[in-house]
Amino acid sequence: MPDRRQPDSPTDDNPFAAPPEGRPDQPWQPRSGGDGGNGDGPKDSDGQRGPARWDPTDPIQRRARYALLAGMWGFFFGIFEIPSVGLLLGALALYWGITALRGKPVPATATAIATGAPAATGGLDAMGAAARPQRTAAVIGLVMASLAILLAMSSYAVQIAYKDFYVCRDDALTQTAQLQCNTLLPDNLVGDVLKVRQ
């Protein structure tokens, strides 16, 4: 069976391809998005901008991402019984998440005031529908921060409520002495979790 000649692949999508024969060279221009937009993001059926790109220079977007990361790590440290680090990260995530959601406006510049232009606003509210990823990150960060703080406070509450047991266990020099500290615990689920195992 003879080999069929494959049709030439179109070069419209290749920015490095040579121009077709007979067409003069053109200076390079940035390509616009596939939807004919200005590259700020995909547009929906209503023509509004889609999710915004990650801009590390925007403090509101940075705080939303910081809230998400700090909240997750604070929750993990709370699960791994390191309450001091979990409490610190949870408090930071709570602060960053709240400030990201509040979205304080950027103060107007002297040029804007002189020209009578409206003051530039910043924050998630000013971004409109494009702020959905940042708002989601801030909300998840707030939830994780709340859980991290709850775990840390629960750990501290247990240590205060059963202080005698912890002091006895830390001062015990032998395994037998540590087992005797179990008598200081209540006979319930908390006691079963905290008791020294043989």
Q: Verify that 66 and 121 share a domain, yes or no.
A: yes
Q: What does residue 94 show for φ and ψ, rounded to 5 degrees? A: -65, -45
Question: Phi, psi at residue 82, to the nearest 5°?
Answer: -120, 75
46 and 128 in contact (C-beta within 8 Å)? no
Residues 134, 86 within the same domain: yes
Q: Is 11 among the domain residues?
A: no
Give tens-digit pLDDT for 142-198: 999 999 999 999 989 988 888 888 888 888 888 888 888 888 888 877 777 777 777
Q: 151 and 73 share a domain?
A: yes
Collect all residues with Cβ–Cβ distance below 8 Å to 71 and sequence separation of at least 6.
89, 90, 93, 94, 97, 140, 141, 142, 143, 144, 145, 147, 148
Domain total in the chain: 2
Kindly report the number of other CB atoms within 10 A of residue 173's CB atom: 7
DSSP strands (E only) in 62-183: none
pLDDT by residue (tens digit) across 79-125?
998 999 999 999 999 999 999 888 754 554 444 445 554 444 555 66
Which residue carries 């709370």 as its tokens? 78
Q: Are residues 111 and 76 in the same domain?
A: yes
Q: Are 117 and 189 part of one and the same domain? A: no
In a domain, 76, yes or no: yes
The reply to whether 24 falls in a domain is: no
Domain that holds residue 81: 59-160
